[in-house]
């Protein structure tokens, strides 16, 4: 393994830079030439690739986003685009790749591995929607961002005696809603994995109001549907003014928390060591506090189980 390429792809996640730093430094420590591919798989197609040195990754462990930039590449999955990427890999003498991203990124990694390019995937997505790993890099930083926002919305909610529906990201996965809802003391948490009853939610709001509660925070995962419709129905049924806050992309930015930096550092190091050992088609994950690797095909097939016990806990605590 003389030359390793590294890229970040899909939605960015806080901690990607920490992982990238670990990949580059572990490679250089082992006398491997390290090359950064810009803008995800698009960079492989276009040959947007350059050397990475120790100083290329200095002063980035605490930065959100990704210094390599990212993209969701439609072209890479076309026959033509993939062929061009393989040519570029050959021209730059890249012997192996580390790719940082979510399930779309891992599908790309599998294509490369199947085509004989040793490739390792590091799970970076705020959604935490990869079933084989307890957590993905970026998830807990995003949750902390949401929890901070809930606290702020709660202040104004109490001042005005309003209800507030807060939409959070997560595509079809309710984990950001669940974790931030529990930590932020939300009254109800609406996720795509569990059917919800608007009447039950309204009843809870009215019960709270009857005991002089002035804030009503309802967290809605984006995969559920339109938060404005939910707010409108709530307002009609409770007669309590109901506002909507869509947190959107601010959940994807910001300085990564300690856990995301540590996961990034450990996984980045392991990814390069696996390539040096001659491994390919592995996805890195975290189980019970340990970083481990698993066949990328198995990782992609693993069903993402929603934590219904935590969801029930949230319901009990927000009676």
Among residues 4, 5, 6, 11, the one that binds ligand F6P under rule CB under 6 A: 11
Instruction: Name the minimum Å distance from CB 145 to ligand F6P.
Output: 12
Q: Are strands 290-295 and 282-287 parallel, antiparallel or unpaired?
A: antiparallel
Q: Which is nearer to ligand F6P, 36 or 104 (CB)?
A: 104
| Local structure of 50: helix, strand or coil | strand
Q: Is residue 69 part of the contact set for ligand F6P (CB under 6 A)?
A: no
Instruction: Name the minimum Å distance from CB 142 to ligand F6P.
Output: 8
- Beta strands across the sheet bearing 119-123: 49-51, 33-37, 3-8, 96-101, 119-123, 282-287, 290-295
* Nearest C-alpha neighbor of 19 from the set 250, 254, 249, 256: 256
Asked if 191 and 308 touch (Cβ cutoff 8 Å), the reply is no
Q: Which is nearer to ligand F6P, 163 or 219 (CB)?
A: 219
Does an H or E element contain 144, and which? helix 139-160
309 is catalytic: no
Q: How many residues bind ligand F6P (CB under 6 A)?
A: 11
Piece of 166-174, 188-196, 197-205, 208-216 that binds ligand F6P (CB under 6 A): 166-174
Cα angle: 176, vertex 297, 32; to 5 degrees: 90
| Local structure of 310: helix, strand or coil | helix
With both helix axes pointing from N to C terminus, report the angle between 258-276 and 16-29 in degrees, rounded to the nearest 10.
Answer: 40
Catalytic: which of 42, 127, 175, 293? 127
Q: What letter does residue 250 receive in the DSSP assignment? A: G
Distance CA 146, CA 317 (A): 19
Q: Is residue 169 part of the contact set for ligand F6P (CB under 6 A)?
A: yes
Q: Which is nearer to ligand F6P, 1 or 147 (CB)?
A: 147
Instruction: Name the minimum Å distance from CB 177 to ligand F6P.
Output: 11
Among residues 43, 170, 181, 268, the one that binds ligand F6P under rule CB under 6 A: 170
Q: Which is nearer to ligand F6P, 252 or 261 (CB)?
A: 252
Q: Which is nearer to ligand F6P, 69 or 216 (CB)?
A: 69
Distance CA 117, CA 196 (A): 45
Q: Is residue 171 part of the contact set for ligand F6P (CB under 6 A)?
A: yes
DSSP letter string, 218-249: EEEEGGG--HHHHHHHHHHHH-S-EEEEE-GG
Instruction: Name the minimum Å distance from CB 252 to ligand F6P.
Output: 5
Q: Is residue 25 part of the contact set for ligand F6P (CB under 6 A)?
A: no
Of 29-68, which residues contact ligand F6P (CB under 6 A)?
A: none
Asked if 217 and 150 touch (Cβ cutoff 8 Å), the reply is yes
Binding mask 195-234 for ligand F6P (x = CB under 6 A): ---------------------------x------------
Asked if 11 and 73 touch (Cβ cutoff 8 Å), the reply is no
Q: Is residue 107 part of the contact set for ligand F6P (CB under 6 A)?
A: no
Q: Is residue 252 part of the contact set for ligand F6P (CB under 6 A)?
A: yes
Distance CA 260, CA 139 (A): 8
Q: Which is nearer to ligand F6P, 119 or 128 (CB)?
A: 128
Instruction: Name the minimum Å distance from CB 169 to ligand F6P.
Output: 3
What residue ranges bind ligand F6P (CB under 6 A)?
11, 72, 102, 125-127, 169-171, 222, 252
Just list the catalytic residues. 127
């Amino acid at each position: 393994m003389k030359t390793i390429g590294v890229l970040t792809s899909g939605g960015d996640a806080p901690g990607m830079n920490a992982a990238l730093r670990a990949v580059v430094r572990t490679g250089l420590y082992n006398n491997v030439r390290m090359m950064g591919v810009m803008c995800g798989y698009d960079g492989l197609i276009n040959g947007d690739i350059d050397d990475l040195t120790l100083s290329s990754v200095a002063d980035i462990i605490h930065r959100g986003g990704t210094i390599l930039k990212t993209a969701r590449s439609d072209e890479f999955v076309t026959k033509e685009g993939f062929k061009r990427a393989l040519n570029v890999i050959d021209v730059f003498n890249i012997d192996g790749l580390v790719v940082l991203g979510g399930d779309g990124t891992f599908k790309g990694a599998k294509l490369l591995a199947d085509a004989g390019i040793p490739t390792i995937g590091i799970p970076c997505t705020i959604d935490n929607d990869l079933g084989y790993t307890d957590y993905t890099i970026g998830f807990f930083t995003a949750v902390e961002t949401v929890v901070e926002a809930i606290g702020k919305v709660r202040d104004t909610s109490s001042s005005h005696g309003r209800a507030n529906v807060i939409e959070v990201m997560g595509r079809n996965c309710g984990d950001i809603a669940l974790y931030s809802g529990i930590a932020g003391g939300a009254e109800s948490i609406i996720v795509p994995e569990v059917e919800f009853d608007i009447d039950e939610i309204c009843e809870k709001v009215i019960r709270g109001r009857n005991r002089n509660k002035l804030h009503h925070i309802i967290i809605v995962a984006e995969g559920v549907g339109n938060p404005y419709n939910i707010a409108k129905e709530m307002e009609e049924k409770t007669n309590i003014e109901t506002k909507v806050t869509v947190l959107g992309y601010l959940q994807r930015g910001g300085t990564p928390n300690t856990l995301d930096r540590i996961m990034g550092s450990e996984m980045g190091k392991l990814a390069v060591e696996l390539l040096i050992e001659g491994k390919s088609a592995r996805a890195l994950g975290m189980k019970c506090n340990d970083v481990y690797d698993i066949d990328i095909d198995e990782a992609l097939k693993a069903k993402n189980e929603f934590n219904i016990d935590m969801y029930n806990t949230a319901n009990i605590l927000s009676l």
